[in-house]
Amino acid sequence: MWQLIRNAQIYTPERSEAHDLLIVDERVAAIGNDLSFPPYVEGLVFDLHGQRIVPGFIDAHVHICGGGGEAGPSSRTPEIQLSQLTRAGTTTVVGCLGTDAVSHSMEELLIKARALEKEGLTTFVYSGAYQATRTLMADLRLDLVLIDKVIGAGEIAISDHRSAQPQIAELERLAAEARVGGMLGGKAGIVHLHLGEGKKGIEPIRRILEETEIPIIQFMPTHMNRTSFLLEQALEHLKAGGNVDLTAGCDDFPEERQVPHVLYLLAQRKLLNDRVTVTSDGNGSMPQYNDHGELVGMGIGSVRVLWRDIREAVKRYNLPLEVALRTITSNPALVLKLPQKGLIRLGFDADLVALDANLDIQHVWARGKLMVRNGQPLVWGQYEKALSESY
């Protein structure tokens, strides 16, 4: 399949002087001006009339097979559906388990990732849950070396009353396994750590960095805008060369801890570098606890908040589009070592999102396949459309 996109403002995520883009099968085959098909080819032409075309979004923290469970069986969240992700502009997703590794399993997570990839997306998973011992094989190293979709350990919980309260020695061993397994498997071997509201924050990471030879980039702490204390730790962690992941969609947070303002803050302090990522925590439960750790409310996370918050950073805080885009395109591709992802570049996967003048998502291509057109899904998951029509 040959496709030609014309008259677009191309962001790679950097602003390009080119306006045309040629897709052959799943890859970007040419970028330039006044492109055309060879005389022997008939293909599809899309005239974007000046719309922006940007890399497909990488959401590196989504509970694809469901999450939740903190309020009993009825509080488990359902599996995510294909069109929820594509309408959000997400073309690459990393799945994770959460609190509930009893009714959800690594096997279920892996199968769901394979299903979404069969339906058109690119998918990966973290091995583990809030409890680090939930692996597919005997240990994390084997998962990283022998299972293609496993790219790291996660979502391992620390500084949280729901965590397994891992000791420093356990985290050291996990990080060491991730380091060696990643090297042997040719992967990032990232340790994706869930940060709760506990008083220690990322102190366990600091201890490991001080006492071992494990490099700082082996860790990817998430929810770092959860509290003011964590946000201050995030700034110091960035200064030291570490990765920091922010969670979108935190509308109940004060403005200064919501993603749009945090990105503005980081830019002002010249800390908005290629180690800053934003994820949605999509499809996970959103429990609210009181000061005694008692559950007082429950919601479900949306993957659509990822672009919503990045868009808000551009429109409200005047962050340059190319700068904001990096946090959900080239930056996660770099941190997670995802080849051919995160950039519009020759030979890279044709993962693309077209944005209108208001920066709303109009069209989405995943590995060269048009998944969403004019904001509406063209491709549905195996059962989702049938289910929606059965009621």
List active site positions.
281
Q: Rounded distance, CA 174 to CA 256, Å?
A: 33
Q: Which residues contact 172 (CB under 8 A, 6 or more apart)?
A: 208, 211, 212, 214
> Among 8, 43, 54, which residue's Cα sits nearest to residue 350?
54
Q: Take residue 145 and report the two structure tokens written for it.
A: 């070396």
The 8-class DSSP code of residue 346 comes to T
Q: What 8-state DSSP symbol labels residue 4? A: E
Q: Cα 119 vs. chain centroid, distance in angstroms?
A: 18
| Calpha distance 387→36 (Å, rounded) | 41
CA 9/CA 355 separation, integer angstroms = 10
Long-range contact set of residues 37-43: C-beta below 8 Å, sequence gap at least 24: 37/2, 37/4, 41/2, 42/2, 43/1, 43/2, 43/3, 43/4
Pairing of strands 295-297, 352-355: unpaired
Q: ∠ CA(242), CA(282), CA(107), 5° rounding? A: 90
Q: Which two tokens stand for residue 172?
A: 């050291």
Q: Write the single-letter amino acid at 330.
A: S
Rounded to whole angstroms, how far apart are CA atoms 191 and 218? Answer: 6
Contacts of 383 (CB under 8 A, 6+ apart): none
List, in order, residues 6 or more apart from 46 with CB less than 8 Å away.
3, 4, 5, 6, 363
Q: Give every CB contact of residue 340 below 8 A, 6+ residues apart in sequence.
A: 27, 347, 348, 349
